[in-house]
Homo-oligomer: A and B are copies of this chain.
Amino acid sequence: MNIYFACSITGGREFESVYQQIVAALLADGHEIPTSHLAQAEAMDGERALSPQDVYERDVNWVKNCDVLIAEVSVPSHGVGYEIAFALQAGKPVLCLHRQDRRVSKMVTGNPDPALKVKDYSTVEEAISKAKTYLLTHLTQI
């Protein structure tokens, strides 16, 4: 499955190791994740080398071509919020994962779109498990 993994870049990287572990687990299952480099510690350097326009075009095209968008939303981010709206508008299924102790915008938690699911987790293992279960149970039709 082609997964757009969305995570905070400019907004803050305190959950970087969570991003990395989720991405690594999904890659190990054989999924394709064009954004996998954005989970890495070098993400900021690599992104800085690209023009804002190039990043925008690249990311939007990846969203358009993905089977599903999985967003880690523990750390606020304009980019991730934008991508969630864009993906839903493009008819893509979206899973938002956040650590249990983090409050998430009501524009995400209150969104009635049936294509959007929001799940919390207390450990990275639980986040990974919920992502895998989601991919199995919600997306078997793809």
Q: How many residues of A contact B (CB 8 A)?
A: 39
In A76-100, the 8 Å CB interface with B consists of: 76-86, 89
Copies held by the complex: 2
B107 touches A78 (CB 8 A): yes
On chain B, the residues within 8 Å of A108 by CB distance are: 78-79, 82
Residues A106 and B76 in contact in the complex (CB < 8 Å), given A81-B85, A85-B85: no
State the majority secondary structure of interface residues on A: helix
B76 touches A84 (CB 8 A): no
In A98-127, the 8 Å CB interface with B consists of: 103-112
A residues sitting closer than 8 Å to B (CB atoms) are: 8-12, 47, 50-57, 59, 73, 75-86, 89, 103-112
